[in-house]
């Protein structure tokens, strides 16, 4: 667990106090506690949905510019906020292309929001945890991760989301990602929050990582009994998998009982959902979209 501190401005700080992201960066740089921290968490920076020249990019660029000051920081979380601050789909993100070289000691990176998000060419020797939280994962971001050189990566957690909020791919793109990416130390694979979660589950079961990971995370999506049946049939072949995350799902009670009887695997079945019906059509929704 990292020694952590969260830095944030409220909307009132922005509108009434005239504070900008550069002021938040200045506050971090001048904080007497910074030298003793291991993790810096960036909360809202004022008007997080405003696509102007003064946004989160100023903070990211400032960390890169002052990389010596942050040389002891092992974990960064950008845009830690809930919907009361800003809907996830409204968050204007940043370009992290220069961060990889500037922070060679970084072990964990969490990014929330995918609008205008760019990761660039990823090459990092020490990063162990990469997490993208969003309502829709752009293929440009997935492509950067697919080509990434992350030999130490142990945990990868991606929110796939829906096409209405940024996901512009399909199951073939996810299959290609699983086939072409190369994370030799991966032990936690999370492909979550998808509106095609049954197909994602099938892709995960047939990917090269399934025989090396200990945790498979397919939570927060639209998993139904179809995907559940595939998991029940496939997972016993892989005794390396000790934990299965399925929270927020659309499994029947009978299917949930079968998962609870699955030997050797801890299964999280929290937050069961019921499909919506409208004019005879059935709708399933992932947990996080807007």
Averaged confidence pLDDT in the chain: 95
Nearest to 67 by CA among 100, 90, 95, 93: 100
How far are the Cα atoms of 5, 183, 207 from residue 80, in angstroms, in the given order?
12, 26, 31
- What integer pLDDT is reported at residue 10 of this predicted model? 83
Closest CA to 248 of 273, 224, 266: 273
Full DSSP string of 184-250: TT--EEEEEEETTHHHHHHHHHTSGGGGT-SEEE-TTS---HHHHHHHHHHGGG-TT--EEE--SB-
Lowest-pLDDT choice from 10-14, 48-52, 255-259: 48-52
Q: How far apart are CA 43 and CA 8, in angstroms?
A: 4
pLDDT band at 52 (very low <50, low <70, confident <90, very high): low
- How far apart CA 267 and CA 99 sit, in angstroms, is 36
pLDDT at 53: 63
Which contiguous run of DSSP H or E holds residue 145? helix 139-146
Checking if the pLDDT of 227 tops 80, the result is: yes
Per-residue confidence (pLDDT) for residue 14, from 0 to 100: 81
Q: 102 in helix, strand or coil?
A: helix
Beta bridge pairs of residue 71: none
Identify the three-state secondary structure at position 156: strand
Q: For the chain, state the CA radius of gyration.
A: 20
pLDDT, greater one: 1 or 35: 35
- 114-172 tens-digit pLDDT: 999 999 999 999 999 999 999 999 999 999 999 999 999 999 999 999 999 999 999 99
Taking alpha carbons only, the member of 34, 40, 43, 41 closest to residue 8 is 43
Distance in angstroms (rounded) separating the CA atoms of residues 27 and 65: 15
Query: Average pLDDT in the 43-48 region?
Result: 88
Model pTM score: 0.96
């Amino acid at each position: 667990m990292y020694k952590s501190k969260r830095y944030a401005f409220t909307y009132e700080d922005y509108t009434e106090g005239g504070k900008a992201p550069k002021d938040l960066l200045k506050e971090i740089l001048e904080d007497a506690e910074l030298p003793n921290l291991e993790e810096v968490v960036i909360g809202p920076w004022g008007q997080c949905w405003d696509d102007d020249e003064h946004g989160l990019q100023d903070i990211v660029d400032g960390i890169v510019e002052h990389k010596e000051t942050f040389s002891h920081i092992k974990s960064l979380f950008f845009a830690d906020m809930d919907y009361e601050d800003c809907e996830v789909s409204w968050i204007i993100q940043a370009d992290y292309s220069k961060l990889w070289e500037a922070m060679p000691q970084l072990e964990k990176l969490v990014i929330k929001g995918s609008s205008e998000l760019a990761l660039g060419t990823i090459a990092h020797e020490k990063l162990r945890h990469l997490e993208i939280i969003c309502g829709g994962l752009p293929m440009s971001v997935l492509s950067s991760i697919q080509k990434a050189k992350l030999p130490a990566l142990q945990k990868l957690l991606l929110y796939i989301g829906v096409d209405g909020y940024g996901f512009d791919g399909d199951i073939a793109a996810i299959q290609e990602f699983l086939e072409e990416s190369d994370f030799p130390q991966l032990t936690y694979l999370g492909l979550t929050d998808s509106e095609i979660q049954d197909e994602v589950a099938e892709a995960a079961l047939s990917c090269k990582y399934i025989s090396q990971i200990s945790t498979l995370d397919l939570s927060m999506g639209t998993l139904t009994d179809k995907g559940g049946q595939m998991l029940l049939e496939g997972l016993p072949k892989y005794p390396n998998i000790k934990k299965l995350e399925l929270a927020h799902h659309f499994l029947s009670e009978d299917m949930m009982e079968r998962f609870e009887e699955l030997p050797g695997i801890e299964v999280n079945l929290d937050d069961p959902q019921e499909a919506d019906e409208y004019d005879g059509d059935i709708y399933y929704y992932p947990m996080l979209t807007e």
